[in-house]
Structure 1
Amino acid sequence: MKNNYRFIKELLKLRMSHLMAFRLGFFGPLFVDVSLFFIQLLVFQAIFSNVDRIGSWGQGEMIIFIGTFSLVDAINMTVYFFGVLTIPDKVRTGEMDLYLTKPVSPLLRITFEKVNPGTLPQILFSVGVIAYGVSVGGFQIGMIQVIGYILFIAIMTLLFYDLEIMLRTTSFFIISTTGILKLEEAGLDLCMKIPGVIFQRGFKIFFYAILPYGVIATLPTQVLTNSLSVPGIIFGMGIVAVFTALMLWFWKLGLRHYNSASS
């Protein structure tokens, strides 16, 4: 554990030096993501100029939902996204060989090797959107709700990470992951616009249990607005535990099936 900490620390130092040499890469993702969620906020403002509620949610819940998805995405983009993104290329080109020969876990190195602090301001932007949603909805937020919300943001960020790793680990078994990554893109695009409370029957099963993008922003929003039941809390924690275990198993299985470029 101590050696892993030292390794991550040195990796972050090298990454910061690289980013400051290429400042467009430092600030580019921030501009793109903030613009995306700002447009999404305007879209929902336009919708609520004509309707009072979407399903059981009012304008306040929807604004918190947008801010929550933005917050989880900001943490994702800051910590691990740009590293995880390269897994299929590393497998295809044989670069994964270099990671397997090092004394550090290849997954640990891939996760933290491309940290991008340029997206950190998006976290502040997201918190501002969430605070605005609380104000619009007139919610009474106590310490319990805040702690519960932070906890669910943490575990939903882990769930997001699990899904990204699992989908890209398929590159160990198939030649092209283009179709699978298009599925990821479509699922995220849908669940970023529609809260999970809207889904019914098959859609709810799919986006809550099979490809659970529907819970990533929905459950934390329900926790903050004190509308998530005890069974819902247990489900949220359980689905993250299951997918984390599946991700670790699938990653190890992928490594066992990896064919070195030199073989």
Structure 2
Amino acid sequence: MIRCLLVDDEQAAIEILKIYLEKTPFLSLAGSTTSPIEALHILTSQNIDLVFLDIHMPDITGLELIKAMPLNTLVILTTAYPDYALDGYDLNIVDYLLKPISLQRFMKAATKALKMHTAENHPKGESLFVEEDHVFVKTEQKGRLIKIYFKDIKYVEGMKNYIAFHWSGGKTLTLHSLSELEKILPSAKFMRIHKSYIVALDEIDLVDAGEVVLRGSGTRIPFGVTYKEAFLNRIKSKLL
């Protein structure tokens, strides 16, 4: 059961979330408050798994509260202001709900939180959560999930039991296999060219003998014998 805290400066909004929460069997209500100050006290004194958090509140905004709460707390943002969506996603939020919130949309966000909560508390669980244009990556630091957009990935490197995402935000390691990742990344954007490498096709600047050269960094990645023919055929199909 996931213990939830509801935080919104409007009591009416909290009451709607309570109704939805009661209809969700894997969620339990640990508390609710209209005060972000009180919310911070609850978060630091009780075991809270998931917070449904309004962004636009007096004294402390929801985004400021996130930075002060325990690291492993999952957060679903709720707000009537769509302009805040991008800021929220930059903080690796589980999901973003725009008011008025429907039960269907609430359930979708709650299910996503359930997957992440399960993975955090079961080491052998999933380490990747794939969405339409991004992936949440579970890191070695307990409770930390990093959102990586597909457009920011340059290549992925297989490293024994781990894979390393090389992306615009740096290098991120997670416990996963390259073969499993290959199945879930969009094939229109990524291709495996070596037993140890998957590359973002848009990042390839040059094909030089047995290697590809990535734009910007100049990183050179070899393509393996097993993958060479399929890779070259794909490249040729795009030639003028």
TM-score by length of 1: 0.25
Higher percent of residues as helix: 1
Q: Relative to total residues, which structure has the larger strand share, 1 or 2?
A: 2
Bigger Rg, which one:
2
TM-score, normalised with respect to structure 2: 0.27
